[in-house]
Amino acid sequence: MSAAKKAILSSRSIQRVQRELRKRTQLQLKRDNRRLFHEANRLKRLPLYLFTILDELKAQACRRGVDVIDLGMGSPDLPPPRHVVEELIRQSRKAENHGYSRRDGVVERRLHEAIMDWYQRKFKISLDSRNEVLPLIGSKEGISHLSLAFLNHDDIALVPNPTYPVHFNGVVMAGGILYNLPIHPENHYLPDLHNIPRSVLRQSKMLFLSYPHNPTTAVADLKFFKDAVAWAKQHRIMIVHDFAYSDIVFDGYRAPSIMEVEGAKEVAVEFHTLSKSYSLPGLRLGFSVGNRDILASLAKTKSYVDFGIFRAVQWAAIKALSGPQDYVHHAVATYEKRRSIFTQGLRRAGWDVPIPKGTFYVWAKIPLKFSALTSLEFATLLVQEAGVVAAPGSGFGEYGEGFVRFALVAPESRLSDAVARIKKVLQMAD
């Protein structure tokens, strides 16, 4: 181990961080053991939810009076479009919108059509609004229920790792078999579909993809999707493409939809959300499009667990999708500027972070000097020493270890402050 690494590990701040994390983990275990009713094994199979630990550390820092800059969660800070919020208020006032949602109702039909039109305008793809479109209570809900709809205990789901946690957590909750496809910077964070053992392929039912990618910010071109669709047809495996960041792209890059591939509808479904493009994560409105049989099974699963989407929310979603799109362009320009300020700042501070083409994240390899620390330890160090919250890479799967993710969900001045504070941490033990 280098002298610099030894110096970091023996520094008082790191020892405090490690003590604190040990205490938090033991506390969680103690709390679990004291319970009268023990959770089902499927919950025990889920990885530790690292955001809970970070939330506690953040709360602790706030109690100490630290002015915390929270770049942990990908929850947009921009105010949502005014005309959408106004529609939500207007429609909420109407008594008829407070009943249970019905598949054949007026707003339900209109929302299906608005999604169909949005797809046509954006990607030049024709959808059958009735059978190839399914609105969701946020895309997370739909993605996790899709695993429940399709996975038996001996079915494998192929999941790139690291990735947005619901891709693997949904599989575990459904009781399916999770097979990690490690993705690395050397392969531009694209999974190698052609080196999966035959025995695994025979048992595989689903492949999860998501580009622009959270957390790595990687993007994929249409050729990659063409290859994936051909592979999926050959092996009779369904593709689930999570397209949450379809709009959040920079430098003139356009993110292709997997549905642009000829014949994609035979094997694929694609998920979208209003949470990112329209800064409406609290609204809980997402949708999926594509293969009608897959969507019918997802709708069937949902019919046993939810009662659809609040009608006022559906009206608001129609406004967002069908109205003027300047809001989205403005939001993207804002993230693009933030991206430049943050990445250039960190680079000037000596941290050579990549410049993302898509998403509003920065995925940064932990600097060499700190590489003896786990990503959770490094993220804890950032909260405690800099008052900056970042997401530890290991929260996105074991192959995310060694990285942290910053969400650019704070104004430019706060991002500059964050850079200045991080710079001081980077200079520790210099």
Residues 6+ positions from 249 with CB-CB distance below 8 Å = 212, 219, 255, 332, 357, 358
Q: Least distance to ligand PLP from the beta carbon of 311, Å?
A: 19
- Is residue 400 classed exposed, middle or buried when 0-12, 13-18 and 19+ CB atoms within 10 A define those classes? buried
Hey, is 217 helix, strand or coil?
Answer: coil
Task: Kindly state the smallest distance separating residue 371's Cβ from ligand PLP, in Å.
Answer: 26
Q: Which is nearer to ligand PLP, 170 or 345 (CB)?
A: 170
Would you say 72 or 367 has its CB closer to ligand PLP? Answer: 72
Nearer to ligand PLP, 166 or 382 (CB): 166
Nearest distance in Å: CB 224, ligand PLP: 17
Of 24, 75, 2, 77, nearest to 384 by C-alpha is 24
Which residues of the chain form contacts with ligand PLP (CB under 6 A)? 74, 138-140, 164, 210, 214, 242, 244, 273, 275, 281, 286
Burial (CB count within 10 angstroms: exposed 0-12, middle 13-18, buried 19+), residue 131: middle
Nearer to ligand PLP by C-beta: 66 or 73? Answer: 73
Task: Tell me the residue ranges of DSSP E strands in 197-264.
Answer: 204-209, 238-242
Between the alpha carbon of residue 350 and those of residues 17, 215, 345, 426, the distances in Å are: 23, 22, 9, 8
Place of tokens 């009076």: 65
Q: Least separation, in Å, of the C-beta of 95 and ligand PLP?
A: 28
Whether cis (ω within 30° of 0) applies to the bond prior to 212 is yes
Smallest gap, in angstroms, from Cβ of residue 318 to ligand PLP? 17
Q: Are 204 and 237 in contact (CB under 8 A)?
A: yes
SS3 state at 182: strand
Nearer Cβ to ligand PLP (139/291): 139
Beta bridge partners, 388, equal: 69
E-state strands within 48-128: 69-70
74 or 160: whose CB is closer to ligand PLP?
74
CB of residue 276 to ligand PLP, shortest distance in Å? 7
Q: Which CB sits closer to ligand PLP, 24 or 145?
A: 145
Q: Counting beta carbons within 10 angstroms of the beta carbon of residue 354, is it exposed (0 to 12), middle (13 to 18) or buried (19 or more)?
A: middle
In the bound complex, what is the minimum distance in angstroms from residue 168's beta carbon to ligand PLP? 12
d(CA 308, CA 88): 16
Nearer to ligand PLP, 57 or 391 (CB): 391
In the complex, what is the shortest distance from the CB of residue 286 to ligand PLP, in angstroms, rounded to a whole number? 4
